[in-house]
Structure 1
Amino acid sequence: MAVTKSPPTQGAASSAGPEEPQGRRLDSPLVLITVLVLAVLAQGPIRRMLGAPVMQTWTTVFVAVVVQALPFLVLGVLLSAAIAVFVPPSFFARALPGRPALAVPVAGAAGAVLPGCECASVPVAGALIRRGVTPAAALAFLLSAPAVNPIVLTATAVAFPDNPEMVPARLVASLLVACAMGWLWLRLGRTDWLRPPARSSYDGQGRGAAFWGSVRHDVMHAGGFLVLGAIAAATLKAVVPETWLRTAADNPVVAVLALAALAVLLSICSEADAFVAASLTQFSLTARLAFLVVGPMVDLKLFAMQAGTFGRDFALRFAPATFALAVPVSVLTGAVLL
């Protein structure tokens, strides 16, 4: 009886036969070697470019902003992560008054003693709402915490050693905007505009894992935006013609609106924005105050975080209203205190 051999299966053939040659792919060592070789070959032009006066000015401003701001950013990230992980949200719910109208200013003032940037304030505010805190109070905390906490105010004092009045001006203007937005939401806000926030991505993890996960997240986000802010400040200082900046700075209305819009676009962490504002010496203190008040409350990354946490309908209403209120409050506060 003849026995016919069945053809080998595809899996057996692939295991017995030689592996098919794979196409070449770029791995990280090859890319690094290529970049290093190109840098060596182009070292002459690179040296001449870096030796130009405009590049020396750019490098000086960039390094100064980053070096001054980095310690405050790291300290703020560590403290905000510790508060978000180790302080239970129920503590804030118990500490706030039962009447929503009184809870708003108390929550705004609570932000003055809790270090954290806007990266941390959004999930903390979401946790407060999940624990039953009235949304108006949680939103007042969301706006005040990244703007008036001790780390931010200390950084502002260091960045403006010749203008100590910037510290109380920033404190007063930011608290006024935070409380006003809380009361405005209390009166005009609707529950269908505010989507119930989801649970934190660190819920259910150990405290150590949640702490370091929060630190890594905030350092990556805040550090990246700090670098972008330093690049923008250095470019404005070194590349943009002085006459252009002077023209914008000489018009009080244009100066305030320009720096308020710049704060939205740059999205700098609140622990570092004072050093960028201090470098914009062409502009008045009032215009720079608007930069410091608007930035921690309305910027691109904060808008994205608010939309992701509370819903797009909320962010599309809350962010423009905050901007529209923060600019005139900054101007009025600057007129009185600066």
Structure 2
Amino acid sequence: MQTQTVGRATGAPPASTRRWSVRSVEVLAVLLVLAALGRGLLSDAMGTPRLQSWSTVFISIVIQAMPFVALGTLLSAAIAVFVPPAFFTRALPKNKMLAVPAAGIAGGILPGCECASVPVAGALVRRGVTPGAALAFLLSAPAINPVVMVSTYVAFPGQPSMVFARFGASLGAAVLMGWLWLRVGRDDWLRQPKHHDHAGEGKVMAFVAAARHDMTQAGGYLAIGAFAAATLNVTVPPSWLRAVADNPVLAVLALAVLAVVLSICSEADAFVAASLTQFSLTARLVFLVVGPMVDLKLFAMQVGAFGRRFALRFAPTTFVIAVLVAVGTGALLW
């Protein structure tokens, strides 16, 4: 009786009702066992030229992009934890029209993917920043920050114009969307973001948790993007790719839709775009501009932060604006 009383007092569930949960350690152990059992099949499969080409493309993309993903997630977590949200509020002009481009440029100081920009944009709205400026920040932060610019420079060696084109087109699209919201946006479309209290967490633990979460998300999407890019390069017949790539309209639309579907982290998407050598620089620029602004995971995050009514209007409009601005920038430069 005494043992049962203590169990109730501490809130510990009885041993018979405890449920075993699958953790990452168990998943890794199962994968290792399966790999060991199937090593014969894997070794035979890796001997085929097509799979060897696939593995070469996949590994090269992951190895090139991973340092930038790691750096971006660490810096993003540090800013989210140690920089007070009020800093951005004080830094923006009071004039709404001027606050939009200022917020777009300020997005360049947040090294991180769109997973980090949505919570920060929500914090700006909660603290009274005009929604148009907060949305410009949301779109520009994952697209023009220093880590993304450096990764784009490394992914496109000898083509610095791609760095300037990506910066200009992404910032232009973000500012245009902010101004468009000031013009036609309605308050009832935008649900006020919920505030999550982390007062009980220490700074170091909050930083570790944020970095771990962002790294898990970014690394997973990087692997998916590298998998898709390698599969596209190996399995799709070259004649099909050339047929799409040779048609300027189809090439732009194909890579714009691909950017939405793949949902690659912005620190890594330049390496995937660089591997799509069949397509023109303009089409690949569309891929780089659209991806950080409109993709499946970002749409889901916007629904959670600002509501479905907002996301269903904002995402399609952003897609059209991003494509048009990227195509116009490409036409001017190339």
- Give the TM-score taking structure 1 as reference length: 0.89
CA distance in 2, matches of 1:266, 1:203: 35
2:204 is aligned with 1:208? yes
Match of 2:292 among 289, 296, 316: 296
Q: Could you tell me which amino acid in structure 2 is paired with residue 223 of structure 1? A: G
Closer, same or farther in 2 for the Cα pair 1:37/1:206, shift >3 Å?
A: closer
Cα contact 1:226–1:269 (8 A) shared by 2: yes
Query: Taking structure 1 as reference, are residues 33 and 157 closer, same or farther at Cα in structure 2, changes over 3 Å only?
Result: closer
CA gap of 1:38–1:312, structure 2 versus 1, over 3 A, is same
Q: What is the deviation of 1:209?
A: 1.9
Q: 1:136 to 1:52 in 2, by over 3 A?
A: same
Aligned partner of residue 165 in structure 1, secondary structure: helix
Give the C-alpha shift of residue 202 in structure 1.
3.8
Moved over 4 A (4+): 26-34
The one of 54, 72, 81 aligned to 2:77: 81
What residue in structure 2 maps to residue 254 of structure 1? 250
Structure 1 residues 32 and 237: CA distance shift in structure 2, 3 A: closer
Name the aligned partner's letter for residue 35 of structure 1: L
What is the RMSD of the two structures over their aligned residues, measured on CA atoms? 2.0
Aligned to 1:96: 92
Identity of aligned residues (%): 65
Query: Which residue matches 1:15?
Result: none
Residue 197, structure 1, aligned to residue 196, structure 2: no
What does the per-residue CA deviation read over 1:269-299, in whole Å, with 9 as the maximum and x for residues that have no partner? 0000000000000000000000000000000
Any residues of structure 2 matched to 1:152-301 within 5 Å, and which?
Answer: 152-200=148-196, 202=198, 204-301=200-297
Counterpart-to-counterpart distance in 2, 1:236 and 1:276: 11
TM-score, with structure 2 as normaliser = 0.90
Does the 8 A contact of 1:121 with 1:146 survive in 2?
A: yes
Q: Which amino acid aligns with 1:93?
A: T
Q: Distance in 2 between matches of 1:323 and 1:262?
A: 12
Cα distance in 2, alignment partners of residues 31 and 251 from structure 1: 46
Residues 27-60 of structure 1 deviation map (CA, whole Å, 9 limit, x = unaligned): 95995686256315xx0x4322111110111000
Q: Which has the larger radius of gyration?
A: 1
**Aligned equivalents of 2:199 and 2:252: distance in 1?**
41
1:171-222 alpha-carbon deviations (Å, 9 max, x no partner): 0000110000000001111111100001136454222222111111111111
What is the distance in 1 between the residues matched to 2:128 and 2:36?
60
Residue 120 (structure 1) aligned with residue 116 (structure 2):
yes
Residues 131-151 of structure 1: per-residue CA shift (max 9 Å, x gap): 111111000000001000100
Question: What is the aligned length?
Answer: 313
User: Partner of 2:160: helix, strand, or coil?
Assistant: coil
**Cα distance in 2 between the residues matched to 1:36 and 1:229:** 23
SS in structure 1 of the partner of residue 279 of structure 2 = coil
**2:137 is equivalent to residue 141 of structure 1:** yes
